[in-house]
Structure 1
Amino acid sequence: MIDSKTLLADLRKLVAALEKDIRERTNAVPEIRVALEAEHAKAKKAERTAQTFNAWRDDYVTQVAVAWVLACVFVRFIEDNELIDHPWIAGPGDRMRDAQEQKLAFFRDPDRALLSDREYLEQVFREMMKVPTLDQFFDKKHNLVWHLAPSADGAALIIAFFQRENTDTGALIHDFQDDEWDTRFLGDLYQDLSEATRKKYALLQTPGFVEEFILERTLGPAIETFGLKEVRMIDPTCGSGHLLIGAFRQLLGRWQQQEPATSSIELVNRVLKAVNGVDINPYAAAIAKFRLLFEALKACQLTKLKQAPAFRINVAVGDSLLHGRSPKSGGLQTEFDLGDAKHAYSFENIDEVWGILSRHYHAVVGNPPYIVVKDKALSAAYREIFGSCHRQYALVCPFMERFFQLAVPGSSGVSAGSVGLIVSNSFMKREFGKKLIEDYIGNWDVTHVIDTSGAYIPGHGTPTVIMFGRNQRPLADTIRTAMGIKGEPGAPAEPANGKVWRSITDLLDKPGTENEFISVGDTSRGRLGAHPWSLQGGGAAGVKQSIEACKVQTLDALFTAMGRVTHTGSDESYYAPKGVWCRIGFTPADTVPLVEGDVVRDWRLAAATDALFPYEHTNLSARAELQTSRLIRQLWLQKQQLKERREPGGTHEEIGLTWYEWSRFQRERFKVPFSIAFAEVATHNHFVLDRGGKVFKQTAPVIKLPADATEDQHLELLGLLNSSTACFWLKQACHNKGDSTDSQGARVTGDPAFDTYQFRLIR
């Protein structure tokens, strides 16, 4: 019986130990390091990465460690469920003795006497490749276990892990027997096996009830429109394969109803041909593929792998945003240019990826990552291909483009493919979403926009929205919208039966209905064609429109600048709690009060931090006498770190700054005394008048009026910005970050007082 939680906790420790082992081996074996450096150089030249070698190597080592662990997990699952005749690594009862005999027999061969557990595991993988359908899991060309291996001690650690027994009962600590062949535990491994990988790829499983909802409104209509024989679907960000498995089951059920006399193997092969997935993460794709294999085996009632035909599963490792055909710039994508695959990592089956990503699909579904890409080379590559990438964009922008581009384009006499996805709702109000909304979404036939930010969706610590549409010009003048009124009051025992989620599923097809959690209606397409979006129900959107209709002028007509005053690039070098710098000998001229967002509250601010001030107070130029002052002795301790600070234009030296000054100093904002500061992230609007002499971080931006504006003019604006009307409007126009007290499910809660907003788009 699989204990998923214990297995995950123990495997995380094993992965960490293997990472250390393999990393040390990359340093100790020159041939390995040279090969990795060459691979990194090729990737960097092709602009697949901007990471340093060490950072890139560490990511690669993590993938290798996970590949070895997963390969053994696959073998163990197959062994314990007796899909092969005899075990190779371990097994319950007598099968443990059989596995140990297999290992002893391997080393009895005189030619193998000096080999180690590493070579034994490699032999196990070669044996798996001989089993029907398993060759695609242990492919020598693309599986990382063949590209880099742990040391002999590291391999011994793996075998010892899977052979561990309870000292009291003699039973295996990790038994993989499961009468139902339930592979969902692999989804848990996918999400949490490596913390570094989880953060890098924003790994997140799609709960079953969300997957069913999305497929019901995409794949279902696609089957009705195009027919079972024609329909094919794709998840371009398939992760551990929840949506693929849901699609497999739905399609197989339809085929079984339509052709009950046809053999299961024939029907399964048809379904596998129609189900496609791609993921950038090698072990995500491996898990998705393995899970689909077991769905196929169960459907065919096959209990031994040697009985199975060579099922081909269309899941590949690759970057859905870089590989395959590239969309032309613009909104609706009906024609494509062949892109140029400049580079492929060794674990990417580029031919298979291109085969999948160069077709159109009748249903395109997914849960794309919500993150902002940190790798500058990748970010620039995506920006070059996808026109919706604007400012510091999140991945929702290029992926939404890609999803619609992959759907069958509709035209006169040709039906369009359906798209369904759950994404972060950050694009709705943050500045980066402006181009996506105004230049792209308006050109697609978006049919539904559903605010799910108040629904309790396990694991989703980010407010989300579900969208449905078709790859064609808009047909209707309205879009069905489910707008949030109140979030889930608490964590429901069954998230699928949460009050908000049930409201969505029960009311979505009933426009004009409302309860205490959501309101459903048909919103004019024109209203959703302008950024930002407001999906607040209960009449809030209408009130926002009424406020805007009464405007006399816009805020940007009143002020000359808005934003932070300082960005040091190394806060720990310059900042200290109030009074600390003075106590160790610095004069008042050496420091300046620093204002952060959490001290801007209730019409007042009280700076709790002092910043070292490396500038002349007269003309605000970098202080020349710094070279002989106490400041230099303090900052000298971090000189190398300070010299290496980078801005968009390069290092300090490259952009003409001294090594000791701040990375950015908005002198004009500091020079004019009056400022209106506000807390960038807060539950309510907090605007405060400041009369000068302070600097402000990004968390406490300032509004600057013209230099000749009087104090009374500042106070007039301050009163408006702190009013309840402004509070209401700002909450409609700015991004709701949700309730920070719960990162596991609902982010917009039953009590709006706990929701925090990012007050940035106030112009």
Structure 2
Amino acid sequence: MDRGPGDGLERAVESEQAFYAASPTATSRDWLQDAFHTLADLPAGRPLVDPDHSPVWHAPISAAASDALIAFFRRTTPGGELVHDFSDPDLGTRFLGDLYQDLSGYAKKTYALLQTPVFVEEFILGQTLTPAIAEFGLTGLKLIDPACGSGHFLLGAFDRLTAAWAETAPGVEKGERVQRALDSIHGVDLNPFAIAIARFRLTVAAIKAAGIRTLTAAPAFRYHLAIGDSLLGSVNPSATLDLGDGEYFEYDTEDLREYAGILAGDQYHVVVANPPYIQPPDAKLRDQYRALYSTCHGKYALSVPFMELLFRLAKRGNGGGAGYVGQITSNSFMKREFGKKLIEQFLSGTFTGMSPEYVDLSHIIDTSGAYIPGHGTPTVVLIGRPRKPHLDSVRAVLGVRGEPGQPAVPADGAVWRDIVEHLDRPGYEGPFVSVADMSRVTYAVFPWSLSGGGAAGLKESIERRSSVTLGHVAENIGFVAITGLDDFHVRDSPTGSMRWESIPARPYVEGQGVRDWGVQDSRLVLNPYLVPDSKRNSASYWPYRSSLDAVIYFGQTPTERGQWWGEYAFVHHPRLNSDRLITFAFVATHNHFVLTREPGVFNKSAPVIKLPGERPRTTTTTCSVCSTPLSPASGSSRSATTRAAPAEAVARTRSGATSMSSQPRNSMSFLLHPPR
């Protein structure tokens, strides 16, 4: 009779008691390490707790923490069942990566840990690994995920490869077929815990595929999973961070040196990834990445150098077929200035002047409207190959509208199903996406627009009929201010000393409040630039002087910069005092623009376009970013733009029917409560 989880708990307790009997001075920490040593002695277990690099040896925990950890996982219900029972007759392990992501806020923040959902992984592998197997065969096939995390892409690839080997070579022994599949799979990640999970998951999958029943009976499978910084290791043989003083830094957990050549370029038939979307967390790293990757520009996100790396790793088309590259990534590069160089010099299909020399994008798929669990950032899927483009067109899936609600099963979401079921049907116009073979020239110019449902044609029509664009009349674009200490400056309402001392304040607008052509929500922010000297020592400011003067910006405190400590850390005075601004939501699935008539403080999530003080003589300008007509003389009210179709909105703006000239010039009321 099979022994269940309860029997396993009893055996674990008995083994622990026997350990203490033999070692009376030992603690639970010693007991756990003894268990790790036992695991490391097994052929299949050693890679899981590598004595040279595993964090279980280099990041020891206290005895008290060990006690709490053991007690947590041994908790039982009143009926004696384990609360946390991970037994699974199917040996499923995908939950481990999700569990680690959800439990470790540190990992999520430090490593931008974000698991790729199974349905997304399967879709991308279907566009890359499947055709690669058909083109190159199984023997010698190589796949890599240079930002593999806990191995979602790697597990999906392993399942496909073992199935393909079983079909192609049924006479080969199971264990040998499993090892051949493992030899095709490569992964790198900076997070040692994520790599440990990936190794464990592949071990369990290999044991299951080989028909082995226990870990003790498993052979020493070979893995190609390395711990280290892919962006550095691909170009720097030392795979370490140059601190600028001739010294190189490497974490004890990193083992990239032991996998020589794993990040060498021009070798992989398949490259897949869901790279981090954040900006480089360290200034030194940011500068080093910029020196190593030509596409890094301005305040770039890590998705930029990873984009370059993915195509570097793939096989070139020299004398044979080029490798396949697939990724899901943040779409921020499409619209933000840091993506201009990436788009026009690297993804345009022309000679790049870097490695690789050409990039052939075959698919650009807007997934920003799909519900993808854990992905709050709008995303796009890109498929391509490092070769000269073979076609003058790119298959584009353009967004029409977002998911109407959160689906119970994300893979069955209306937007995602519309994408998957119609990807191979150019000319399709559906309720959620449009599919078209777009001219490659369209995506050789920054910024990209992936709006479907006729939006591109409408934009072209508007711009063709407009004599002036917003770019010709805008003085500058950016955010208004960074307070440096929002907890002090920003208030929900005027209360306490702020109220009875009549401290000047202005509306404080954040991106999430800019919706549906109006500012739907705002707070108040103290305005230190209107505070007279007599009130600088008032109850509203003076008690907080130490905290305010401790704010570091550009490496200096306010006093060191020659400012009063009550001022903002950064302010753009022309924008701060302007009553002619167009603000927009920096992060949103749809465009949201508002013409303001009163000075306010708009933070980084609600940047502004500053219009000149004197109104242009033209009747209509066009915003090339939002594809929406903007009237410098009269802005469109919310009622006109939200209730009218785009063409009707254009007509009304041109005729002046929605003019706000009758609104009070120095009032925010029309923003908070647009006329209906």
TM-score by length of 2: 0.82
Q: Which of 205, 209, 213 does residue 303 from structure 1 map onto?
A: 213
2:509 maps to amino acid: E
The more displaced of 606-615 and 248-257 is: 606-615
Q: CA deviation at 1:541?
A: 1.1
Question: 8 Å contact 1:211–1:246 — kept in the other structure?
Answer: yes
Cα distance change on mapping 1:485 and 1:176 into 2, 3 Å:
closer
Matches of 2:501 and 2:616 in 1, distance apart?
34
Deviation at 1:201, TM superposition (A): 2.7
Aligned-pair distance for 1:499?
3.0
Q: In the alignment, residue 652 of structure 1 is paired with which amino acid? A: P
Corresponding residue for residue 132 of structure 1: 43
Query: What is the one-letter code of the residue matched to 1:105?
Result: A
Is the 1:605–1:688 contact (alpha carbons within 8 Å) kept by the matching residues of 2? Answer: no
Q: Mark the CA change 1:467 to 1:668 in structure 2 (over 3 Å): closer, same or farther.
A: closer
The question of 1:248 aligning with 2:155 is answered no
Unaligned runs of 5+ in 2: 242-247, 350-358, 621-629, 650-676
Match of residue 133 from structure 2: 223
CA RMSD of aligned residues (A): 3.4
Q: Could you tell me which residue of structure 2 aligns to residue 384 of structure 1?
A: 291
| 1:505-516 to 2 correspondences below 5 Å | 505-516=420-431
Q: Distance in 1 between matches of 2:592 and 2:63?
A: 59
| The one of 580, 596, 600 aligned to 1:675 | 580
2:497–2:540 Cα contact (<8 Å) kept: no
After superposition, the Cα gap between the structure-2 partners of 1:409 and 1:632, relative to the gap in structure 1 and judged at 3 Å, is farther
> 1:544 Cα deviation (Å)?
1.2
Shift of 1:474: 1.8
Which shifted more, 304-313 or 696-705?
Answer: 696-705
Question: In the aligned structure 2, how far is the partner of 1:102 from the partner of 1:382?
Answer: 50
2:483 aligned with 1:568, yes or no?
Answer: yes
Q: Shift in Å at residue 399 of structure 1? A: 1.4
C-alpha distance after superposition, 1:243-280 (max 9, x if no partner): 11111121122222221111111111111111011122
Counterparts of 1:421 and 1:663, CA distance in 2: 38
State the partner residue of 1:87. Answer: none
Corresponding residue of 1:104: 17
AA aligned opposite 1:378: L
- The residue that corresponds to 1:394 in the other structure is 301
1:266 aligns with 176
Residues 1:495 and 2:400 aligned together: no
| Mapped partners of 1:363, 1:81: distance in 2 | 42
Q: Give, in whole Å, the separation in 1 of the partners of 2:614 and 2:381.
A: 48
Shift of 1:705: 4.5
2:441 to 526, 537, 543: 526
Q: Distance in 2 between matches of 1:308 and 1:604?
A: 62
Instruction: Tell me the alpha carbon deviations over residues 119-151 of structure 1, each in whole angstroms, 9 at most, x when there is no partner.
Output: 121111111111111111112221112123222
Per mean C-alpha deviation after superposition, the further-off stretch among 275-284 and 508-517 is 508-517
Are the equivalent residues in 2 in contact too, given 1:118–1:155 (CA < 8 A)? yes
Q: What is aligned with 1:123?
A: 34
**Structure 1 SS opposite 2:205:** helix
- CA–CA distance in structure 2, aligned partners of residues 300 and 710 of structure 1: 74
CA offset at residue 95 of structure 1? 4.3
Q: 1:442 aligns with which of 336, 341, 348?
A: 348
**CA 1:373 to 1:510, structure 2 compared with 1: closer, same or farther past 3 Å?**
same
Equivalent residue for 1:71? none
Cα contact 2:463–2:469 (8 A) shared by 1: no
Corresponding letter in the other structure for 1:496? A
Deviation at 1:371, TM superposition (A): 2.5
Q: Contact 2:580/2:595 (CA < 8 Å) preserved in 1?
A: no
Name the CA distance, whole Å, in 2 between partners of 1:473 and 1:309.
44
Distance (whole Å) between structure 2 residues aligned to residue 462 and residue 669 of structure 1: 28
Task: Work out the CA distance in 2 between the residues paired with 1:506 and 1:697.
Answer: 41
Which of 501-510 and 91-100 deviates more? Answer: 91-100
Helix, strand or coil at the partner of 1:482: strand
- Aligned: 1:141 with 2:141: no
Residues 1:371 and 2:278 are matched in the alignment: yes
CA distance in 1, matches of 2:477, 2:484: 20
Q: Does residue 441 of structure 2 align to residue 544 of structure 1?
A: no
C-alpha separation in 1, matches of 2:530 and 2:405: 52
CA separation of 1:574 and 1:490: change in aligned 2, threshold 3 A: closer
**SS state at 1:447 partner:** strand
What corresponds to 1:404 in structure 2?
311
Q: How does 1:325-724 map to 2 (within 5 A)?
A: 325=235, 342-352=248-258, 354-359=260-265, 360-411=267-318, 413-443=319-349, 444-576=359-491, 579-580=494-495, 585-586=500-501, 591-596=504-509, 598=513, 609=524, 611-614=526-529, 626=533, 629-631=535-537, 634-648=540-554, 650-669=556-575, 674-680=579-585, 684-690=592-598, 696-698=602-604, 701=607, 703-706=609-612, 717-719=632-634
What SS does the corresponding residue of 2:50 show, helix, strand or coil? coil
Q: Distance in 2 between matches of 1:603 and 1:144?
A: 51
Asked if 1:257 corresponds to 2:167, the answer is yes
Maintained 8 Å contact 2:147/2:189: yes
> 1:399 is matched by which residue type in structure 2?
F
**1:198, CA displacement in angstroms?**
1.9
Tell me the alpha carbon deviations over residues 670-696 of structure 1, each in whole angstroms, 9 at most, x when there is no partner: 56x652353546864321333x6x655
Mapped to 2, the partners of 1:721 and 1:445 lie a distance apart of 41
8 A Cα contact 1:362 1:417, kept in partner: yes
2:61 is paired with a residue of what secondary structure? coil
Residue 123 of structure 2 corresponds to 213
1:345 CA displacement: 0.7
Aligned with residue 292 of structure 1, among 202, 205, 212: 202
Q: Could you tell me the percent identity over the aligned residues? A: 42
Aligned to 1:156: 67
What is the distance in 1 between the residues matched to 2:379 and 2:553? 32
Deviates more, 1:348-357 or 1:463-472: 348-357
- Asked if the contact 1:448–1:469 (Cα under 8 Å) also holds between the matched residues in 2, the reply is yes
Structure 1 counterpart of 2:290, one-letter code: R
Alpha-carbon deviations, 1:374-409, whole Å to 9, x = none? Answer: 433333332332222233322221211111111112
Give the conservation status (yes or no) of the 8 Å contact 1:389–1:436.
Answer: yes
Q: Secondary structure at the match of 1:149?
A: coil
Contact in 1 for aligned 2:279/2:302 (Cα 8 Å): yes
Distance in 2, Cα, partners of 1:320 & 1:121: 32
Contact 2:101 / 2:113 at 8 angstroms: preserved in 1?
yes
Retained in 2: the 8 A contact 1:600–1:677?
no
1:638 aligns to what SS in structure 2? helix
- Are the aligned partners of 1:677 and 1:700 in contact in 2 as well (CA < 8 Å)? no
Name which of 166, 169, 176 aligns with 2:77.
Answer: 166
Contact in 1 for aligned 2:514/2:585 (Cα 8 Å): no
Letter in 2 for 1:242: H
- Consecutive unaligned residues of structure 1, counting only runs of 5 or more, are 1-79, 83-90, 327-336, 617-622, 732-763
- Per-residue displacement from partner, 1:180-211 (whole Å, max 9, x unpaired)? 11112212212212123223333222222222
Contact 1:269-1:311 at 8 Å conserved across structures: yes
- Deviations 1:337-377 (CA, angstroms, capped at 9, x unpaired): 98765322111113135532125211001212223344333
Structure 1 residues 596 and 249: alpha-carbon distance in aligned structure 2, compared to 1, 3 A threshold: closer
Preserved CA contact (<8 Å) 1:678 1:685: yes
